[in-house]
Structure 1
């Protein structure tokens, strides 16, 4: 009989060796894993970012990012693309061929159409461009050119409060700013840059320092005073919000835009709110009787506005010698930015307000007809042919206005020549096709070639439609255009004018 031995013998030693080997391997693997996690050795556990794939011979297809349609503030103008200095301009023959189908549209049967190269001013297309027609709101392009000659590039408007004949009398001086914020001023905006609450703070502080707790408040309206509405306007324009009343003082919250009806008396609205704000600051206020100047007598050839009218405002200017003490002062956004805003929103009252005070500063009268005649004179002074041109206002609401399409394009060319900074800034405010202002819902569908590339001023009166501005074509060349249409419905006329501009944008027209 065989008895099992208690000695494990060689098999046990082999197992021991095998376990030792396995433990060694495991130890090595764990160590490597630690190094891998610590990014000290390559491996699947590394925390370092994976290296980029090697470049391929054939790159992927480049695609444009999807960008939601912007809704830029009208207080911040979009920069117009620069002129394409080296891009070849379209030829007249090329433009004529491209537009052949467009000009045959029934809506353009009675129209005036002009196209120019935006860089050289060369006429590329002219169909009845010398005919006098109702310009509607494209009148504002002429007004922008005129206003730009009366104001310096950085000119602003002041609203001040001065001490009156006694310590207990104060005078609110209308200085041309119709965009005053009823609260605190906002330095980032055009409409609302100056704040009435800031003015109230300044005046109440000054009165408290002088120991005055009750005042009589008067208003000085001698600066560029004139009628609130034009006799050639439809009587329903102001009550329906097509325009506000024209005055040299107003609140940004009461602008007549988008059909919103503004106050019949903007100056009184500002005065009354100012009085309430002073009372909330502990000052008792009594309103003085209103003394309105006459608008029938033009100022002298070299204007000498009322000493309290601040005709050449400056944020840091000290009160003129001999004038009463200034108790408070607020300063508007630059006139050039206000003008751009007027074009973006097609703000009729704001255009009239800026043009009237520009005429006043230049020695012109302050009725609507006086201001319109002054605008024509200033366009003439630019060296442009204005024979036959008639303006009864500065905004284009009058059906008695007459302008030529070729004149509109000449002004647009001048606006881009770098020599007229206020006009140039105003043109930056022209609505952008498909994006802003009165063009926000146009240039869609089949006319989308001009969306985002066209800037233009619209013009709409019953039986008279117009569009004038600029567009960058497919070759990067800036073209300016004007179209004036009579006898067509508004919907049909707009669609045809949009087709006209979209064709210019896409044709290349060599």
Structure 2
């Protein structure tokens, strides 16, 4: 994105969807500072090595700004969503939100550049008082690296693997983008078995799309309603107005339930689900979940078909595997994996995380299960020659406490995502929540002590009982892009621990340290 000097901070922020009327003083200050810095470095970033590797989600954000609709994730070529509908007239962001475009220029390193690299001793002086705080529990590790070179500038037990919680999603993101590619989309199909005459044998085939929705406004996601429209039309063209309906979830294997058991933070992991199996109107965060999301999705599909004049033999669909000879009736596709990665990271979406772990497995010929996904992630990171000492992957979301990652690995993942030679990994950075503005950091960085990081820190949070983690990027006062990771275990007051980690990231933002 090229930033023009005549665009004022207020106008620029409004175009990016930032509403100053609802912001705190620190958010106003942080936002203004970010806009000013973005304006100063935007032309350099636009001309840098990242420009040629710009990803789908970023191109669409620029196009969306031209349309006046803020950040968007539609296809740049056709500007159509996974249901084949043109999104150019839409004036609101699609349902796979990324960090605000106000920071897009800052996400792009420009090589070693002229900004000085922080000194290790100076960093230690700034970070030590915070990382030695008793609020961080019995164990704490940390690493800070120069994003442009990957060189570690500070380490505190950086190679020791601890429970990463949701910062695991950074590893999942890198793995799936490497294995399947950022432009890959997940397909949900309706097929009819051969030999169907008066009564068609239709099977709804799940492809593992965690964003498939049955809601009237699909907001850029694959729509079960659109699939029903097209399926009904195809059946009527064949002269079929009555069917038996089955659903196929055979793409996935292994247990449906995450090891933590039934939980509001994640639905049973199925190759077929609508609206993440949510039993309310929420789109993110904890919510009551269906015990059988595949059956529920198929039941909804049956109702939609009936509304469109296609009768079903029985009210409830049954599980069935589509044959190799089944004929396709209709299909819908998810947003790109780039967009799904951004949504996963911004909202810490566990359902998307486990789906992306299985997409990694499918792309590498591993079983699409919890174990297969974990193995596939580890294998992909090994291929990238990342520091995996002590690393253990137990799932894609980080909900499993058996997972272990080091601060060194997390910062290496972030540095690799910043590497101009790995433009396919850009969504790992653009999806990170922005301190004080988006996702899981929206309501943090409000206190005086940590507010200097508002708008400048982009980081993935991690929280389990007794575990608090934070990993992301920050621009220091000299304009240097740094990647950091802080992991703690044994914390007893999560709010205080989070605040301490936020202050540590803010200290990096406020540090010249050279």
TM range (shorter): 0.7 to 0.9
1:383-436 per-position Cα deviation (integer Å, ceiling 9, x unaligned)? 112122111111111111111111110010001113334432133111111111
Counterpart in 1 of 2:438?
A: 436
Matches for 1:341-420 after TM superposition, within 5 Å: 341-420=343-422
The answer to whether the 8 Å contact 1:246/1:350 transfers is no
1:67 aligned onto 2:23? no
Counterpart in 2 of 1:43?
A: none
Counterpart in 1 of 2:301?
A: 274
> Using a 3 Å threshold, how does the CA distance of structure 1 residues 274 and 260 change in structure 2: closer, same or farther?
same
Instruction: State the distance in 2 between where 1:249 and 1:465 align.
Output: 32
1:154 aligned onto 2:183? yes
Instruction: Provide the secondary structure at the position in 1 that maps to 2:20.
Output: coil
Counterpart in 2 of 1:49?
A: none
Instruction: State the distance in 2 between where 1:334 and 1:130 align.
Output: 34
Instruction: State the distance in 2 between where 1:402 and 1:388 align.
Output: 7
Instruction: State the distance in 1 between where 2:332 and 2:317 align.
Output: 24
> Using a 3 Å threshold, how does the CA distance of structure 1 residues 289 and 203 change in structure 2: closer, same or farther?
closer
Of the candidates 229, 245, 250, which is equivalent to residue 257 of structure 2?
Answer: 229
> Using a 3 Å threshold, how does the CA distance of structure 1 residues 92 and 292 change in structure 2: closer, same or farther?
farther
Counterpart in 1 of 2:31?
A: none
Of the candidates 206, 209, 222, which is equivalent to residue 177 of structure 1?
Answer: 209
Instruction: State the distance in 2 between where 1:307 and 1:176 align.
Output: 18
Alpha-carbon offset, residue 184 of structure 1: 5.2
The answer to whether the 8 Å contact 2:159/2:408 transfers is yes
Counterpart in 2 of 1:119?
A: 148
Counterpart in 2 of 1:26?
A: none
1:188-208 per-position Cα deviation (integer Å, ceiling 9, x unaligned)? x4xx52211111111111111
Counterpart in 1 of 2:158?
A: 129
> Using a 3 Å threshold, how does the CA distance of structure 1 residues 289 and 254 change in structure 2: closer, same or farther?
closer
The answer to whether the 8 Å contact 1:337/1:426 transfers is no
Counterpart in 1 of 2:509?
A: 505
List runs of 5+ in structure 1 lacking aligned partners: 1-62, 294-305, 309-322
Alpha-carbon offset, residue 443 of structure 1: 1.1
Counterpart in 1 of 2:109?
A: 83
Matches for 1:449-464 after TM superposition, within 5 Å: 449-464=452-467
TM-score of the two chains, using structure 2 as the length reference: 0.76
1:54-111 per-position Cα deviation (integer Å, ceiling 9, x unaligned)? xxxxxxxxx9659345797562423441225332221212212222322332223621
Instruction: State the distance in 1 between where 2:311 and 2:9 align.
Output: 63
Instruction: State the distance in 2 between where 1:116 and 1:107 align.
Output: 24
> Using a 3 Å threshold, how does the CA distance of structure 1 residues 225 and 181 change in structure 2: closer, same or farther?
same
The answer to whether the 8 Å contact 2:460/2:471 transfers is yes
Aligned residues: 413
1:232-270 per-position Cα deviation (integer Å, ceiling 9, x unaligned)? x2x3xx33x111221122223745732212212221121
Instruction: State the distance in 1 between where 2:320 and 2:421 align.
Output: 39
1:258 aligned onto 2:285? yes
How large is the Cα RMSD of the aligned pairs?
2.3
1:306-362 per-position Cα deviation (integer Å, ceiling 9, x unaligned)? 876xxxxxxxxxxxxxx4322111111101111111111111121001111220231
> Using a 3 Å threshold, how does the CA distance of structure 1 residues 64 and 375 change in structure 2: closer, same or farther?
closer
The answer to whether the 8 Å contact 1:148/1:420 transfers is no
Instruction: State the distance in 2 between where 1:98 and 1:292 align.
Output: 60
Instruction: Provide the secondary structure at the position in 2 that maps to 1:468.
Output: strand
Larger radius of gyration: 1
Alpha-carbon offset, residue 450 of structure 1: 0.7
1:26-73 per-position Cα deviation (integer Å, ceiling 9, x unaligned)? xxxxxxxxxxxxxxxxxxxxxxxxxxxxxxxxxxxxx96593457975
Matches for 1:459-470 after TM superposition, within 5 Å: 459-470=462-473
The answer to whether the 8 Å contact 1:182/1:195 transfers is yes
Alpha-carbon offset, residue 217 of structure 1: 0.8
Instruction: Provide the secondary structure at the position in 2 that maps to 1:145.
Output: helix
Instruction: State the distance in 1 between where 2:473 and 2:340 align.
Output: 20
Instruction: State the distance in 2 between where 1:64 and 1:202 align.
Output: 46
> Using a 3 Å threshold, how does the CA distance of structure 1 residues 292 and 214 change in structure 2: closer, same or farther?
closer
1:94 aligned onto 2:126? no
TM-score of the two chains, using structure 1 as the length reference: 0.76
Alpha-carbon offset, residue 153 of structure 1: 2.6
> Using a 3 Å threshold, how does the CA distance of structure 1 residues 383 and 152 change in structure 2: closer, same or farther?
same
Counterpart in 2 of 1:6?
A: none
The answer to whether the 8 Å contact 1:184/1:194 transfers is no
The answer to whether the 8 Å contact 1:99/1:503 transfers is yes
